[in-house]
Structure 1
Amino acid sequence: MVVDKLKLVIAFILACQSVKAQQISTYTKDVYVTSKDSLPYRLLYPLNYNKNKKYPIVVFLHGSGQRGNNNEAQLTGVPKRLTDSAGRVKYACFILAPQCSKKDVWVKFPNFPASLETTKLATPATKSVLAKLDLLIKNLPIDPKRVYVTGYSMGGEGAFDFLARRPGLFAAAIPICSVSDTAKARLIYKIPIWAFHGDQDDVNDVKYSRLMITALENRKGTPKYTEYQGVKHNSWLKAYEEPGLFDWLFSQRRR
């Protein structure tokens, strides 16, 4: 138990160091304000940005531990494969990294664990992210057929929820160590999905990813699924380093 906790502490320290490195990558910093809510967010422009080109956009959803309003903590976990020097050349894209407030979540499961059903209405944070995303697609040279979403833990749950609420928007998704509403498989089974989970996850049981993958396959969907043996909740550390992951993601286009 002590060794496991030490590993998590080390992983967190490394992630925080990654945040500092990512800040050098010149994310713009702003807040999306509506009549009822405000959403802090960071936006990374493609390297060598050219307004006459069309770029994909990746929406990155953080976990519950990065909630707040400092507009910084949400950068923890953004895949380094997309933000290091090689990644920014190979995968030129916009990255939208919103921050959910501490009083909110990306998606609610009101009767969990008795039921995996989510609320009929999106949470305020999710409404704001989707509204801001629509504005970015309208006002920036973003390829509307190459809109992607990924996230871990609470963010992985959000990724599945985003797909279900806007199935005609997203070209692909990478949800990691999440819980999801399996009844929504009927809405999203045609969308390319590569999901990940650790089989020793002690926060979100691995059975929840297995249930959703089965639900998608029962609808004749063809999701990709990688399960890491002996890995607990921090499976995103391995998932975002998975060989071929981002080649796969950026090859997906909405039909």
Structure 2
Amino acid sequence: MKKKRFILLFIVALISCSKGDEKLPAPISGPHDDEVVVETTNILLDSEFTGLTGLPEDQGGQHIAKPVTDLLSPLGHYIYTPSGYDDDNMDYPLIVFLHGGGERGNSFQDANDLEKVLVHGPPFLIESNRWNPRFPCIVASPQISSGSWSPSLVNGFIRHLLRNYRINNTRIYLTGLSMGGRGCWSYVGQNGNDGFATAMVPICGSGDPSQVDNLSKVPVWAFHGAEDDVISAFTQNGSVPMVEAINENDPLFLAKVTIYPNIGHDSWTQTYSNTGRGTESADYSPFDMSIYDWMFQYRKEE
């Protein structure tokens, strides 16, 4: 009977990956089971990095594959925990990375499909031993099998993480590239500061200007290549018009957009690695600090 029940739950998880707006399977309980509550909270600029300066330096942690077949999670994912995570009881900030369309995969059918999420962004930097943000953090890189990122699917995944990891729920950050950038715009556009995201960095994605009221409630720093012929930076609700719409809407914090001249769709490599600093257009927001420091300077009011 138990075996049949587990098989049924795995099938529900797989269906949820394919139909992002379907009801998600209930994640397993964990250390934060009573704390997964989404409330409207103020987002603060915290130049003192409250709660981060006391975390142990990350000497290189664990990056573990969690295919759908291995756990009761809405999504297969890679999860990175910093080196000090197992040695203390402290809560850590969380960065959720949403992959692009080329990294879709079905780890229910083939666990190796999950490795596709390692080709770009934070998971790539972790795997290549180049992950060195100023403060230690948990990094979660989920994978969808088809379609696009839906806000309900992202929300259910973050809830799962909160139930199973020691996460500082005032410091949850969202970033993604291309389709994942669109997923960031969509998640914050639907949820505003009612959702989990404290700040977001969408890269070469497009948004929905009708959601500008919610987008104005969460700090945004968008990146895009000026020569992007897949998702235009300047038209079709690309990064520039989206940021302009936010800043015309009296946002909580002015949104930023950084544009790379002579760069096409891949504007993520130099952004996540911070190697693009100094190569950006002077006509838009300067790439004047690490995107991770920029995210970490925001937190939700406790």
Aligned to 1:63: 100
2-structure distance, mates of 1:26, 1:55 = 14
Q: Which amino acid aligns with 1:97?
A: S
Q: Is 2:120 the counterpart of 1:77?
A: yes
1-structure distance, mates of 2:153, 2:88 = 25
Give 1:248 shift.
1.1
Residue-by-residue CA offset, 1:166-203 (whole Å, 9 max, x unaligned)? 32221100000111111111112121111001111010
Aligned to 2:296: 250
2-structure distance, mates of 1:81, 1:244 = 17
Aligned to 2:82: 46
Residue-by-residue CA offset, 1:207-241 (whole Å, 9 max, x unaligned)? 21111011101111201110111111001112221
Q: When the two structures are superposed, what TM-score results if normalisation uses the length of structure 1?
A: 0.75
Asked if structure 1 preserves the Cα contact closer than 8 Å seen for 2:134 and 2:292, the reply is no
Aligned to 1:228: 260
Aligned to 1:27: 63
Asked if structure 1 preserves the Cα contact closer than 8 Å seen for 2:92 and 2:138, the reply is yes
Aligned to 1:10: none
Q: What secondary structure is seen at the aligned counterpart in 2 of 1:165?
A: helix
Asked if structure 2 preserves the Cα contact closer than 8 Å seen for 1:82 and 1:91, the reply is no
Which one has more relative contact order, counting CA pairs under 8 Å at least 6 apart?
Answer: 2
2-structure distance, mates of 1:179, 1:72 = 26
Q: Which amino acid aligns with 1:99?
A: Q
Q: What secondary structure is seen at the aligned counterpart in 1 of 2:299?
A: coil
Asked if structure 2 preserves the Cα contact closer than 8 Å seen for 1:39 and 1:129, the reply is no
Aligned to 2:240: 210
Identity over aligned residues, as a percent? Answer: 31
Q: When the two structures are superposed, what TM-score results if normalisation uses the length of structure 2?
A: 0.64
Residue-by-residue CA offset, 1:89-125 (whole Å, 9 max, x unaligned)? 7331111101111x3111xxxxxxxxxxxxxxx4xxx
Q: Is 2:203 the counterpart of 1:176?
A: yes
**Higher helix proportion (structure 1 or 2):** 1
1-structure distance, mates of 2:229, 2:130 = 34
The total of aligned residue pairs comes to 210
Aligned to 2:147: 104
Q: Which runs of 5+ in 1 are unaligned?
A: 1-23, 107-121
2-structure distance, mates of 1:171, 1:89 = 17
Give 1:82 shift.
6.4
Give 1:164 shift.
2.2
Q: What secondary structure is seen at the aligned counterpart in 2 of 1:202?
A: coil
Aligned to 2:152: 127
Q: What is the aligned-residue RMSD (CA, Å)?
A: 2.4
